[in-house]
Amino acid sequence: MTIARANAARALPVFSIAFAAIYIASVNYNLALLTYHPQLGQWAVLVDPPKEGPAMYWYGWLLTSALGAGAVAALSLALPARPVERASAVLVWLVPVAMIALIGYILRGYFLR
């Protein structure tokens, strides 16, 4: 394991933290970079309203989150290693748990009808 590789790897927890947060923001504000129309078998760039049948934004949300989290992770390499590692050790599970709770709250309408 080279030092450079290990140093770059510390951005991985940052990616996961950012991914969870950006994903939920993408869902809540519909920030999809892609839309799929399953009835037509067609893809569209960015958010495209339903045409025939439903429009699927899930693939687009994943792409938005992956690109956004990649950018945040890359930027985190410019920060001092030790504080980032310490914060990441807690935020890496706390943020996903909080985001799952938040999405449960957003979806509460399904369970309260």
Partner 1 sequence: MITFLLIIHSLAAVTLLGALTHQTISVLWPARQRTGSFVSSLRSVPSMTYTNAIIVLYVLTAIVGSLVYPEYRLSVRTTLHDFRLYGPEGAFELKEHMISIGLGLLPAYWYYWKYAGAKEQAATRTIVTGLLAAIVWYGFLTGHVLNNIRGFGS
Q: Which residues bind partner 1 (CB under 8 A)?
A: 1, 6, 9-10, 12-13, 15-17, 19-20, 23-24, 27, 36, 38-39, 53-54, 56, 58-59, 61-62, 65-66, 69, 88-90, 92-93, 96-97, 99-100, 103-104, 107, 109-111, 113
Residue number, 46 or 58, with CB nearest to partner 1? 58
CB of 102 to partner 1, least distance (A): 10
- Sorted by sequence, the CB contacts under 8 Å of residue 60 that are 6+ apart come out as 26, 32, 33, 34, 35, 36, 46, 47
Nearest approach, Cβ of residue 9 and partner 1 (Å): 5
Q: Determine contact, residues 104/65, Cβ cutoff 8 Å.
A: no
CB atoms within 10 A of CB 32: 24
Min. distance of Cβ 11 from partner 1 in angstroms? 9
Q: Measured from the CB atom, is 45 or 106 closer to partner 1? A: 106
State the minimum distance, in angstroms, from the CB of residue 23 to partner 1: 6
Phi, psi of 107 (to 5 degrees): -90, 10
Q: How far apart are the first and last CA of the chain?
A: 54
Given a contact cutoff of 8 angstroms between Cβ atoms, the answer to whether 13 and 88 are in contact is: yes
